[in-house]
Structure 1
Amino acid sequence: MIITKTKEEIKLMHESAQIVSKTLGMLAKEVKPGVTTLHLDKLAEEFIRDHGAIPGFLGMYDFPNTLCMSPNAQVVHGIPNTKPLIEGDIISIDCGALKNEYYGDHAYTFEVGNVSEDIRRLIRVTKESLYKGIEQFVSGNRVGDVGYAIQKHTEKNGYGVVRELVGHGLGKTMHEDPQMPNYGKRGRGKKFLEGMTVAIEPMINMGTKSIKQLPDGWTILTADGLPSIHFEHDVALVDGIPRLLSTFDYVHEALGIKTNEEDAFRLDLAKL
């Protein structure tokens, strides 16, 4: 069942999502060769609690940490550890926070030092696909329209779209209806409703779309060992159009990235 949100609830969700966004912005300055993912995890937990929220992933389904940290060929759900990051790595950082009974859930893939041009292209195309998916989250469209847009953009560039893992509705629970696959057919699936809140999160592989799982029961990897990229935004359907609850602004500021990619989707709280 799809749970739509009032505008007051959307404001609360925006607050939770922004805490996650700020956490990622803080971490952006810390991601560098020699740093361990466990160190980044501890920084994130402290930051989230200092901002009056609770780490959203810690203990959920018995997950042991605050962040899902997935380097290189890991797609998602990597467990933080004491292995240092090295020059040329990439690292997907997926973070959740719970405040005022609502979740924020947000992810960014970071470069560790200098990465290859092939990886930069994969990062760029995956991020582009995120916004192409968000563009389709409008009144009158359906789940398949978002998935189709992401799939079309990434597959035409030669990449694999993970099938087994999907985006999702978001609210008082981390995973609500509907599921939001990153593939699909236009006009298929559940219809978008005013007040819907979803997490759209393309998981795109450089090679095969196939994946496998480590014995730890969490970590998902590409089946061919090639890199995977993951980006995620929280989005609300407000007055028939998509409005971002999360933002990459804090990450971009920390990394010196200038872009207008979010301008079409910004939420004006004063107008809610």
Structure 2
Amino acid sequence: MAPQLKSPGQVDALAASGALLASVLDELVAAAEAGVTTLELDGLAHDLIRTGGGEPAFLGYRGFRRSICASPNDLVVHGIPGPRPLGDGDVLSLDVGVRLDGWVTDAARTVVVGTASADDARLVAAGEDALRDAVARCVPGGHVGDVGAAVLSRAERAGVEVFPALIGHGVGRNLHEDPAVPNVGRVGEGVPLEAGLVIAVEPMLTLGRPRTRTAPDGWSVFTIDGARATHVEVTVAVTDDGPRVLTPWSGAPARTA
């Protein structure tokens, strides 16, 4: 299907959803300390989203039973929050979706609980750098291949690997819309980027081999070799004035030149 382009007013409505999401992620990052369980983080996110007038977009999606995804260490994405307490040095991806007034945004951050090893710090920094590079390519006249090429280039320079099978997506009225947004690609190839296109850009990188396995729960995606991974994501609108990040945070400014 052709991507569903959004009007400026619809982008503003998505930005309101994204502002709520970003504030929730701020609180989750601050609360992610040793001894805290991922289930407690899920409860915190659920309450914050509801208090802000929104709905957790993940809750009930295809049977998913929690409000966020919490993925530590070798769990790349779609981790189901549970009673596991976080420990010092854990690398934790926090992925949140918010629906506000019918508009859905999606974003994720990776944090290190307590003290980070040199390799983990390098991995997390590579993900954030890849995200910034990818967002900068979200301009009219570009292509989704430009986004993937930016992620891959940054990963190669950092000495980490990209999971080619794990991708971003369009977002808007629904959590997942066209187009698919791969994390590998070639400049000038793929779906054109037009003003009004809103996509979730989400680099997923690892210190090990770029292969995964899915747990019996049907959701949790682990690295095949037990290596640690990072996942960062923003919802970004392609506009005539440049990329507009609708879920802003310090690693991805609200507008990228």
Q: Name the structure 2 match of 1:236.
A: 237
Deviations 1:163-184 (A, max 9, x none): 1110011100011111000001
Mapping of 1:189-204 within 5 angstroms?
189-204=190-205
Q: Name the structure 2 match of 1:154.
A: 155
Secondary structure in structure 1 of the residue aligned to 2:189? coil
Unaligned runs of 5+ in 2: none
Question: Following the alignment from structure 2 to structure 1, what is the Cα–Cα distance between the partners of residues 125 and 255?
Answer: 18
Question: Following the alignment from structure 1 to structure 2, what is the Cα–Cα distance between the partners of residues 66 and 263?
Answer: 25
Q: Name the structure 1 match of 2:248.
A: 247
Are residues 263 and 62 of structure 1, via their aligned partners in 2, closer, same or farther at CA, if it must alter by over 3 Å? closer
| Native 8 Å contact 2:242 2:255 kept in 1 | no
Question: Following the alignment from structure 1 to structure 2, what is the Cα–Cα distance between the partners of residues 175 and 60?
Answer: 11
Query: Cα distance, 1:240 vs. partner?
Result: 5.0
Alignment: residue pair count: 256
Question: Following the alignment from structure 2 to structure 1, what is the Cα–Cα distance between the partners of residues 67 and 170?
Answer: 20
Mapping of 1:18-167 within 5 angstroms?
18-167=19-168
Q: Name the structure 1 match of 2:225.
A: 224
Query: Cα distance, 1:262 vs. partner?
Result: 1.6
Secondary structure in structure 1 of the residue aligned to 2:35? coil
| Native 8 Å contact 1:33 1:87 kept in 2 | yes
Q: Name the structure 1 match of 2:256.
A: 265
| Native 8 Å contact 2:39 2:81 kept in 1 | yes
Query: Cα distance, 1:207 vs. partner?
Result: 1.1
Question: Following the alignment from structure 1 to structure 2, what is the Cα–Cα distance between the partners of residues 264 and 38?
Answer: 33
Query: Cα distance, 1:141 vs. partner?
Result: 0.8
Secondary structure in structure 1 of the residue aligned to 2:107? strand
| Native 8 Å contact 1:18 1:104 kept in 2 | no
Query: Cα distance, 1:157 vs. partner?
Result: 2.2
Question: Cα RMSD over matched residues?
Answer: 1.2
Which residue identity is paired with 1:183? V
* TM norm structure 1: 0.92
Query: Cα distance, 1:91 vs. partner?
Result: 0.6
Query: Cα distance, 1:239 vs. partner?
Result: 1.2
Q: Name the structure 2 match of 1:252.
A: none
Question: Following the alignment from structure 1 to structure 2, what is the Cα–Cα distance between the partners of residues 52 and 157?
Answer: 40
Which residue identity is paired with 2:13? L
Query: Cα distance, 1:100 vs. partner?
Result: 1.0
Secondary structure in structure 2 of the residue aligned to 1:265? coil
Q: Structure 1 stretches (4+) deviating beyond 4 angstroms?
A: none
Deviations 1:19-71 (A, max 9, x none): 11000111122110000000010010011000000001000011010010000
Which residue identity is paired with 2:60? G
Mapping of 1:178-197 within 5 angstroms?
178-197=179-198
Unaligned runs of 5+ in 1: 250-258, 267-272
